[in-house]
């Protein structure tokens, strides 16, 4: 069976893969995007909700993107500890904002835009492996949605296929990264209620962390720190509200029916190799961050902007300098975001083995952030997103 042919084979139709196909098309480079999931699964899986300003600006180039119209601009967040709230005023500190617009809505916009543009986008297609990564014609091998063997030959293969990336496992190896685990997870809920607070609240309390986030005028997203082995179905709704409320003293949470609950495990991971020959990784395939600080999807977007520049130079001008610089350039931002996510996590959560010293030191750390304009500015800069590098 002869292999199909495309210029860039993109494995994964998440934010990274879809955005990359859009940026490549704008430069006249065709691609095929494959995902093992169904369109419905992709469009309904609940993920994070915060877009950096630079992410919204790049999404502005996607026809029909609703990030600005349906999403909400947030000009700050609140850090709460020791019974007091402290606003981090992004606009005043760095003149930038973030947008609250759920990732699955970003995905609906991207999928609709790609299909309208005639993108070859295949759901239910499984990728087993990549062959010939170090040749000029790498091939993606797998199975189509109707169970037929699939083989796509390309000029370049991109692994945008998430934290259990088949592309990474087959090209770079299965244990190829630096990682760290955490002794806690987040219990997340979605409920039918209006917002309890105008802005997000990140709360460090003696009982552990809680995050009061939002989704819309009628649906709210909240999280609290829990044991990684917690059973999402075990607590009653009354117990969930009691736990949440105890962790945000000073704010009366508006309760409503809880219609979704999940336990999110935390992991920090960075692959040692982001590129080998004519294969590269972007997004969660290359790195995962703990959710505190909402860097995951934004970091994927930053990778994709760099890689799209590099691929344009490689495939249109035969210029390899950009692709040779990709990993190092991407890793600079990745490690800054890793640090920020680890820092927000460690500053706000109660470690199970924390003693008095650790707890009081943590409050000292939080005070040194909120009492200092430099401290608040660092947080605001990182949260709203460092400038995106577009040139390699």
**What is the β-pairing status of strands 156-159 and 8-11?**
parallel
- Which residues have a Cβ under 8 Å from the Cβ of 161 and sit 6 or more positions away? 11, 12, 17, 35, 127, 167, 168, 285
Task: Give how many residues touch ligand DHB by CB under 6 A.
Answer: 11
Residue 308 binds ligand DHB (CB under 6 A): no
| Nearer of residues 166 and 344 to ligand DHB, judged by Cβ | 344
Tell whether the torsion through CA atoms of 238, 241, 245 and 246 is positive or negative. positive
B/e letters for 48-83, b = 16+ CB within 10 Å, e = fewer, are bbbbbbbbbebbeebeebebeeebbbbbbbbbbbee
Q: Smallest distance, Å, CB 319 to ligand DHB?
A: 38
Q: Smallest distance, Å, CB 330 to ligand DHB?
A: 21
| Nearer of residues 49 and 138 to ligand DHB, judged by Cβ | 49
| Nearer of residues 213 and 312 to ligand DHB, judged by Cβ | 213
How deeply is 17 buried, as exposed, middle or buried, from its count of CB atoms within 10 A (0-12, 13-18, 19+)? buried
Q: Smallest distance, Å, CB 295 to ligand DHB?
A: 8
Spot the catalytic one: 195, 291, 326, 349: 291
Residue 294 binds ligand DHB (CB under 6 A): yes
- Which residues have a Cβ under 8 Å from the Cβ of 274 and sit 6 or more positions away? 280, 281, 286, 326, 327, 330, 331
Could you tell me the maximum CA-CA distance found in the chain, to the nearest angstrom? 67
Tally Cβ neighbours within 10 Å of residue 223. Answer: 22
Q: Smallest distance, Å, CB 223 to ligand DHB?
A: 7
State yes or no: is 74 an active-site residue: yes
How deeply is 88 buried, as exposed, middle or buried, from its count of CB atoms within 10 A (0-12, 13-18, 19+)? buried
- Walk across the sheet containing 208-212 and list its strands: 84-89, 76-81, 201-205, 208-212, 219-226, 177-192, 258-271, 287-288
Q: Which of 162, 195, 291, 385 binds ligand DHB (CB under 6 A)?
A: 291
Spot the catalytic one: 22, 72, 74, 287: 74
Spot the catalytic one: 182, 202, 223, 326: 202
Residue 268 binds ligand DHB (CB under 6 A): no
Residue 288 binds ligand DHB (CB under 6 A): no
Tell whether the torsion through CA atoms of 130, 132, 135 and 136 is positive or negative. negative
Q: Which of 14, 15, 49, 235 binds ligand DHB (CB under 6 A)?
A: 49
Q: Smallest distance, Å, CB 381 to ligand DHB?
A: 16
| Nearer of residues 326 and 340 to ligand DHB, judged by Cβ | 340
Residue 345 binds ligand DHB (CB under 6 A): no
State yes or no: is 336 an active-site residue: no
| Nearer of residues 240 and 327 to ligand DHB, judged by Cβ | 240
Residue 15 binds ligand DHB (CB under 6 A): no
Residue 349 binds ligand DHB (CB under 6 A): no
Residue 347 binds ligand DHB (CB under 6 A): no
Residue 80 binds ligand DHB (CB under 6 A): no
Residue 50 binds ligand DHB (CB under 6 A): yes
End-to-end distance of the chain based on CA atoms, in angstroms?
39
Residue 213 binds ligand DHB (CB under 6 A): yes
DSSP assigned state of 165: -
Q: Smallest distance, Å, CB 187 to ligand DHB?
A: 13
> CA of 238: how far to CAs of 194, 205, 263, 264, 374, in Å?
18, 20, 18, 21, 41
Which residues are identified as catalytic?
Answer: 74, 202, 291, 295, 383
Chain contacts with ligand DHB (rule: CB under 6 A): 48-50, 200, 211, 213, 221, 291-294
């Amino acid at each position: 069976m002869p292999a199909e042919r495309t210029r860039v084979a993109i494995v994964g139709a998440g934010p990274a893969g879809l955005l990359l196909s859009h940026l490549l098309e704008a430069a006249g480079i065709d691609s095929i995007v494959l995902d093992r999931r169904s369109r419905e699964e992709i469009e309904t899986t609940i993920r994070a909700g915060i877009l950096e300003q630079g992410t919204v600006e790049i999404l502005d180039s996607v026809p029909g993107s609703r990030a600005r119209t349906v999403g909400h601009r947030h000009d700050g967040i609140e850090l709460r500890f020791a019974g007091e709230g402290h606003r981090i005023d992004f606009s005043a500190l760095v003149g930038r904002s973030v947008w609250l617009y759920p990732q699955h809505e970003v995905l609906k916009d991207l999928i609709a835009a790609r299909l309208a543009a005639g993108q070859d986008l295949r759901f239910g297609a499984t990728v087993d492996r990549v062959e010939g990564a170090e040749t000029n014609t790498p091939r993606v091998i797998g199975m189509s949605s109707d169970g037929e063997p699939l083989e796509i030959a390309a000029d370049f293969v991109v692994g945008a296929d998430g934290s259990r990336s088949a592309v990474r496992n087959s090209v770079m190896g299965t244990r190829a990264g630096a990682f760290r685990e955490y002794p806690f997870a987040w219990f997340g809920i979605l409920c039918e209620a209006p917002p309890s607070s105008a802005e997000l609240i990140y709360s460090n309390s003696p009982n552990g962390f809680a995050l009061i986030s939002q989704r819309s005028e009628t649906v709210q997203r909240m999280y609290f720190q829990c044991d990684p082995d917690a059973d999402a179905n075990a607590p009653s709704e009354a117990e969930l509200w009691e736990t949440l409320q105890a962790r945000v003293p000073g704010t009366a949470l508006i309760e409503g029916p809880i219609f979704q609950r999940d336990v999110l495990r935390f992991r920090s991971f960075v692959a040692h190799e982001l590129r080998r020959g004519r294969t590269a990784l972007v997004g969660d395939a290359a790195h995962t961050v703990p959710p505190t600080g909402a860097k995951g999807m934004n970091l994927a977007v930053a990778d994709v902007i760099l890689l799209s520049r590099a691929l344009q130079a490689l495939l249109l001008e035969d210029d390899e300098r950009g692709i040779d610089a990709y990993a190092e350039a991407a890793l600079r931002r990745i490690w800054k975001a890793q640090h920020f996510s680890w820092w927000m996590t460690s500053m706000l959560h109660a470690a199970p083995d924390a003693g008095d010293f650790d707890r009081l030191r943590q409050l000292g750390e939080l005070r040194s952030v909120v009492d200092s304009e430099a401290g608040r500015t660092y947080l605001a800069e990182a949260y709203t997103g460092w400038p995106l590098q577009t040139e390699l």
